[in-house]
Amino acid sequence: MNRDPISSTADVEEGAASRLIDARIRELDDWRGEMLARVRTLIRQADPDVVEEWKWRGVPVWSHAGIICTGETYKHVVKLTFAKSASLADPSALFNASLDGNTRRAIDIHEGDSLDEKALAALIHAAVALNTASSQKKKQARPAG
């Protein structure tokens, strides 16, 4: 995976994160950059309130009331890892990696793979709904004071 040393010590603010994701896409001047850009567009369309972050020494992250997914790039794959995906329904069977984990599931996209955009949008919506519900439960559980 490509890592960016400027973010090695801390997470960066959203505007800077978006610029770093832009730079990552340009840096990957092959199918991986194109796919990362496409996935990013689909995530933003599915959730216009998504927040872009840059974490863990150079990983694009999309959040809304918690992490929705990360967009890692490796030599032969673009990997979308959904933070709480073990709790999400996946009727289109997009998840094809990390299937034995208790929390996360991933979508490995290889060169030439097609992507079911409607199914991805549905997963984004489901992840946001799960995050929002979890966030509301935490707020309600806090004692008043």
Q: How confident is the model over 30-88, as pLDDT tens digits?
A: 999 999 999 999 999 999 999 999 998 899 999 999 999 999 999 999 999 999 888 88
Question: Could you tell me the sign of the dihedral formed by the alpha carbons of 19, 32, 106, 1, in that order?
Answer: negative
Q: pLDDT of 10-36, one tens digit each? A: 455 668 999 999 999 999 999 999 999
Report field, pTM of the whole predicted structure over 0.85: no
Question: Side by side, which strands form the sheet with 105-109?
Answer: 51-55, 59-63, 67-73, 78-82, 105-109
